[in-house]
Amino acid sequence: MTEWWRGSVVYQIYPRSFADSNNDGVGDLNGIASRLDYLKSLGVEGLWLSPFFKSPMKDFGYDVADYTNVDPLFGTLDDFDALLAKAHEAGLKLTIDQVYSHTSDQHEWFRESRTSKDNPKADWYVWADAKPDGGPPNNWISLFGGQAWSWDTRRRQYYMHNFLSEQPDLNFHNSNVRDAIFDVARFWLDRGIDGFRLDVANFYYCDQQLRDNPPKRPEGGYPRPYWHQRHLYDRSQPENLEFMEDFRRLVDQYGDQMTVAEIGSDSYIDRSIEYTRPGRLHTAYNFLLLENGPLSPALIRNAVESWTSKTAWPSWSFSNHDVVRARTRWGGDDAPDAFAQLLMGVLMCLRGTIFLFQGDELGLPQADVPVDRLRDPEGIRFWPDSLGRDGSRTPLPWKHDAKNAGFSDTEPWLPVDPRHHDYAVDVQEADPQSTLNLARAFIRFRKRHPALQLGEIAFLDADEPLLMFQRKLDEETLLCVFNLSGDRVDAALPTAGDDLGYGLNGVLEGRVGKLGPYGGLVVSQSNAA
């Protein structure tokens, strides 16, 4: 088996904001298909599509009303099949998001479940009676604020929702629910998809006794109520791992597919390893490098070295649709292009499967979305303490001089940040030293060196701001050295070697790496003197 995903670079597409083919202001499947040449030119091995399923869009697709149908905003099933075929013709794997923890309250399963306590789907969701005082059954809190329970007047019970009240949680303790989810997976596997990204994969089961979560004092006084509990009972239950083993057995019947878990947990790495042990999912990524900072050699080293398993395979990403883009999160509003290029260089040298979020190959900063244009329910609820996720979800800029940066002739669902015109694809295509062209070069570089894709990683002690590690596979040993500061730094290398022309503002002079601001080197030590 080839295991196409191991060490590969997978490009995350947020369909609403990638490419609009019909000028309605929302990206779609045909838009993605029209840009496959661009995606192929990046050198990535695979694509991951965020949800495009039928949905009332309360959480913009992560509230699924029909798991086996495409929302008309994005096209049709025929459009999906055509996209899949074109991706495969281009040599690209296609993986899709699956949101199994919860559905939309408009899903036919929930519509039936809420009608009574004894209908055929009565136990398909997490329902519970009120406490004697009429309050919810326990103290669980929603990630989006407020109680994780909503009262249903017809059924006269509470239903659980880890997220919005419009996103009721499925009851995975019910075997009929598990069977229905397996049927959904088969539907897409039979169409020929190459894998699944499992949204909030450790949230499928909750404690059957509905015990209260104990309190917790969050470090740094994090303001959201959710982080003031230890989430012992509303997620990461032992049964969840048994389901992953069953799910893996199903997927393995289809050949070389990838399963990747999104892990939301205080124990970032430990929980990720737990979900990717042999017989479970192929890989997992977490939020350690998506939410924490500032950027430092210690942050990267501690994250990677925490992955102590020799059998579980890691995945890493610096940005996605749920967090502030890495350029801004780690570099601030004034971070130069060299900083964005440094991030790309570091990411492409890490051990694991790499997930690259759309726009990071352009070095996009976090977009500024005016408060009256916010669409994200999380951002709206927590404004002004947080502007939410909209700033990472704005349309991709394709053309500098075009209306809405060439995304659409119609006003997009989120506005294009005026600054993003200068980062447009057509501008960067014409500049050999642009972040886009360097990203392409870095991805090609990774593919040319098996040690970067599949090799072991070992960090070397170096004074800040230097990040230094070795990648080794068989006879190939590469030394990766990065300057995480905006100052020039000389890096004394442990041994001699050959400069591989990595192209990140650094040169090798004997055993000294001369690194410009945010510069880097990759040195071959295979035949070191």
Contact 260, 284 (CB under 8 A): yes
Indicate which residue of 20, 28, 262, 361 is catalytic: 262
User: Is 199 among the catalytic positions?
Assistant: yes
Whole-angstrom Cα Rg for the chain: 23
With beta carbons less than 8 A apart as the criterion, state whether 460 and 471 touch.
Answer: no
Contact (CB, 8 A) for 102 and 111: no
Locus of tokens 């730094």? 489
Picking from 46, 43, 91, 41, the residue whose alpha carbon sits closest to that of residue 446 is 43
3 state DSSP class of 518: strand
SS3 per-residue string spanning 147-187: ECEEEECCCCEEEECCCCCCCCEECCCCHHHHHHHHHHHHH
The single-letter code of the amino acid at 446 is R
Cβ-based neighbours of 358, under 8 Å, separated by 6 or more: 11, 12, 13, 14, 17, 18, 396
404 torsion bin: left (phi>0), alpha (psi -120 to 50), beta (else): left
* Region of 134 on the Ramachandran plot (φ > 0 left; ψ -120 to 50 alpha; else beta): left
Q: Is 239 labeled as catalytic in the residue annotation?
A: no
The tokens of 293 are what?
Answer: 């900072």
Options 28, 63, 194, 199, the catalytic residue: 199
Say if CB 391 and CB 369 are below 8 A apart. yes
Residue 108 neighbours by CB under 8 Å, 6+ apart: 66
User: Catalytic positions, please?
Assistant: 199, 262
